[in-house]
Structure 1
Amino acid sequence: MTSKHRIQTPKNAPTPPPETAAIYLRVSTEEQADEGFGLDVQRTQTSAYATAFGLTLVGEYADEGVSGTKGIGERPQLAAAIQAAKAGHYKTLIVPAIDRLARRVSLLLQIWDELEAAGVTIVLVKERIDTSTAVGRLMRTVIAAIAEFERDNIVARTTDGRNARGKLDGEKGGRVPYGYVRNGSIEIEPTKAAVVRRIFALHRRRFSLAEICAQLNEDRVPTPQGGVTWYPATLRIILKNKPIYLGGKRGESEVCWPAIL
């Protein structure tokens, strides 16, 4: 007669330790001000997820004021999170939303590959995606593609708007030539404009670029960058702007620069 033996778990057997997890947070300066999705909010969301699913948090990594388009090497805390994953410090990385991790598909896939190679699962709280599953892996790629598409559309709309305004009044943003200041509209900055006139006056008198630099340096005239050492290359840029200083048209518009010369 064959006897059957039941395998029983000892009463004093230790309870398996809970799975370890870390959280990754990211916010850019603009998002902090405009979207109300600051680090505190992200921290609350990810911590709540860890508690709900019995995960033990062993690390937090937060990149502040860094764009989601930046690579791993340009995001110190993301790099640290990946390094910790490779060292086996945690098994799940909890992220509040997919765009906190990356705003480009290629970058997202790179981060995913690095973490997967280290045996780490990514959880995206907002999208309710657990990338340890096949469905999660598929959704991760699809949502990242949508996020990139939306971002490209925003960039295109912004560019179109700037181009339209450029045709209207020549204003597309960016740095204005030395001698001007943007104050709602383009205006002449008197102190710098005087330097422009001095440079052109010396140039008309056939002073060499080196001689003009020497005079400006001797008088410790601030350079366009705020220093006190002028170089011929800087003067060449100013001299090439002569049509602007004469009150030429701004871009594709009929609006003219305020004349300095």
Structure 2
Amino acid sequence: MQENCMVGIYARLSRDDERAGESVSIENQKEMLSRYVREQGWTLYDYYCDDGVSGTTFDRPGLNRLVQDATDRKINLVLCKDLSRLGRDYIEAGKYTDFVFPSLGCRFIALNDGVDTIRKNNEMLVILKNVMNDLYARDTSSKIKAVKQSTFKSGKYVGCYAPLGYRKNTEDKHILEIDPVTAPVVRRIFDLRLQGYGFRKIALQLNAEKVPSPRSFYYMAEGRENLRGETPYWNDVTVKTILRNEVYLGHMVQNKTGTVSYKNHKQISKPESEWIRVEHTHEPLIS
């Protein structure tokens, strides 16, 4: 047994956990695990947390910092609530428990699962738990996708921000209504196009008139500053996207993008055959 255990507590919470109603908040995990550290008489070196990060990706700031500190021999024991906190990809999770942590001389404990790598009879339990966590991630992803597909087919809007010219209904965020502040900008873009202006010329005209860009409008509506450094100017791509968006005709066209898989969250464009188009879902801006 390790006599001088320098512990790194790892805690993770994803949006999928929140949707499932699991009581695994970061603070709850930290409180439970730090109490266990005190009971064992160990030394807590630091907390390593990833909040809002999926368990199917392993490129996480908190986890990366934990591995670096283990590499630097600052910690020799990693403690987490259960194996699903480490990850829900059984191959990647197994790599950490079987290779990464052992190669760094680092003991690993998943408290609620009864997993402790210092015990040599844990291998099969770890494999089974990791496979179950992977299947859970696959099942959750399928259910979320099914709900979104149903929402798309009903003609309800799904998105963080309403398209320029619209705003979300205060009582139902899936319903679009015309925004009196930004609608004139969209109508002007279409008017300029009818006058024979090209995409780039329209963008130059809007910039000359100091018309805020869509991103600037979003920040102003939320009372926030542009801290991400996005260019607050119009360009031909933005203009082209607006002019080709059927939302301004009162139609909803969604399911245009998706992810590679439930493990790889890289956004990809879907073929037009998979788009979901529902007509006459809201008041058109352009007739």
| TM norm structure 2 | 0.74
Amino acid at match of 1:247: G
Alignment of 1:13-28 (within 5 A): 18-28=3-13
Other structure's SS at 2:142 match? helix
- Alpha carbons of 1:175 and 1:141: their partners in 2 closer, same or farther (altered >3 Å)? farther
Q: Which runs of 5+ in 2 are unaligned?
A: 217-230, 254-275
1:123 Cα deviation after fit: 0.8
Which of 233, 237, 243 is 2:237 aligned to?
233
The aligned counterpart of 2:247 is 244
Instruction: Write the distance in 2 (CA, Å) between the matches of 1:208 and 1:122.
Output: 61
Alignment root-mean-square deviation, CA = 2.7
Distance change in 2, residues 1:74/1:51 (3 Å): closer
* Closer/same/farther in 2, CA of residues 239 and 254 from structure 1, 3 Å limit: closer
Q: Distance in 2 between matches of 1:69 and 1:149?
A: 12
Name which of 89, 94, 99 aligns with 2:84: 99
Pairing partner for 1:141 from 127, 132, 138: 127
What pairs with 1:3-82 in structure 2 (closer than 5 Å)?
A: 18-28=3-13, 30=15, 35-52=22-39, 54-69=40-55, 71-75=57-61, 77-82=62-67
CA contact (8 A) 1:21 1:90 kept: yes
The answer on 1:118 being equivalent to 2:118 is: no
The percentage of aligned residue pairs carrying the same residue is: 19
2-structure distance, mates of 1:82, 1:196: 50
**TM-aligned CA deviation for residue 168 of structure 1:** 2.1
Q: Deviations over 1:73-121 (max 9, x none)?
A: 432x322322232333343222121122112223212322211111222
- Checking the alignment, whether the CA contact within 8 Å between 1:96 and 1:125 is kept in structure 2 is yes
Whole-Å Cα distance in 1 between the matches of residues 13 and 252 of structure 2?
Answer: 37
CA contact (8 A) 1:86 1:115 kept: no
Query: What code does the residue aligned with 1:215 have?
Result: Q
Match of 2:193 among 199, 203, 206: 203
Q: Is the Cα contact below 8 Å between 1:72 and 1:78 reproduced in 2?
A: yes
- C-alpha distance in 1 between matches for 2:75 and 2:248: 61
| Paired residues of 1:95 and 1:101 also in contact (CA < 8 A) | yes
Aligned to 1:259: 284
Match of 2:183 among 190, 193, 196: 193
SS at 1:187's partner residue? strand
- Please, which runs of 5 or more residues in structure 1 have no aligned partner? 1-15
Match for 2:128: what amino acid? V
Mapped partners of 2:28, 2:200: distance in 1: 57
Deviation per CA, 1:9-50, whole angstroms, max 9, x where unpaired? xxxxxxx98231313232337568964433332233223333
Q: Is the radius of gyration larger for structure 1 or structure 2?
A: 1
* Amino acid aligned to 2:86: L
